Structure 1
């Protein structure tokens, strides 16, 4: 497993210095409270040689301390694939031009939706923690994902996502 760690694990979110995007807000409804006024999306990067890229979420974030996917709130009028690739690049340096979209999976709660964009890594890369939302980034073998303390939403989605990943020996 390749590990990429941040310097600190503060329990306090960083002070925002720039303008907020209108999508950066909580949405509440009958099934709970979720981040992203226009929905949210994340990237499940699959590298057949390394496994999947997981993000150890900052302690101060929603479900902090768990493992999930780089991603976040969509911008207004942004399609989920574009938003997921933007967020994954911002949070983990996932290069949009070095991956191929395999499929998407959508959790739609009527008032909020989360899209998982599953990509095949075409050009291997080392992820880079470039914002305070990650404690660590790690390539995890497919068979080892369940051994992590997963974000509840990702934990629920993982069996179906795993089933749809391309087959390879030892995966």
Structure 2
């Protein structure tokens, strides 16, 4: 059980190449906004995989982490978000190729929660109303999963 033992590329049986030897996870963080719920999006630095796109903070799972632990650790590393500032609302499986999987962790926070680009993987951050997310150049995985995630965010924000 070593820290960062999940970093690395995997060629799954479907022929795709993915980051995360043990799979990966990302945080779909949302808060109330003037035009309905807003989600935190990370503009990925140009040098990372799918750089220049918008995504949620996330990355490789270490061998000892579940999706929630990995997503919260990655959010702290990438956007300076302390786990104590969120309420986990559930998980959603995104890509699942049996031998590699990406999980989204849905979590809510308050408008007072502050984030910042905490490492070089983050070019910019923005709180985006859920309805405006599809108009952005999204990471391919997030684009594929967005409709399902948006429905879950809307439902959770109404609860």
Does residue 1:158 correspond to 2:150, yes or no? no
Structure 1 match to 2:49? 62
Structure 1 match to 2:31? 47
- Correspondence list, 1:110-129, <5 A: 110-122=98-110, 124-129=112-117
Q: Is the 8 A contact 1:99 1:123 kept in 2?
A: no
- Correspondence list, 1:71-150, <5 A: 71-106=58-93, 107-122=95-110, 124-150=112-138
Q: Is the 8 A contact 2:59 2:74 kept in 1?
A: yes
Separation in structure 1 between the aligned mates of residue 69 and residue 3 of structure 2, nearest angstrom: 19
Separation in structure 2 between the aligned mates of residue 28 and residue 113 of structure 1, nearest angstrom: 12
Q: TM-score, normalised by structure 2?
A: 0.88
Structure 2 gaps, min length 5: none
What is the number of residues matched between the two proteins?
151
| Residue 134 (structure 1) shift | 0.8
| Residue 93 (structure 1) shift | 1.6
Q: Is the 8 A contact 2:26 2:104 kept in 1?
A: yes
**Aligned with 2:7 (options 14, 24, 33):** 24
Structure 1 gaps, min length 5: 1-18
Q: TM-score, normalised by structure 1?
A: 0.82
Separation in structure 1 between the aligned mates of residue 108 and residue 70 of structure 2, nearest angstrom: 17
RMSD: 1.9
Greater fraction helix: 2
Structure 1 residues 88, 117: closer, same or farther in 2, change over 3 A?
A: same
Separation in structure 2 between the aligned mates of residue 123 and residue 137 of structure 1, nearest angstrom: 15
Q: Is the 8 A contact 2:32 2:111 kept in 1?
A: no
Separation in structure 2 between the aligned mates of residue 59 and residue 115 of structure 1, nearest angstrom: 23
| Residue 95 (structure 1) shift | 2.3
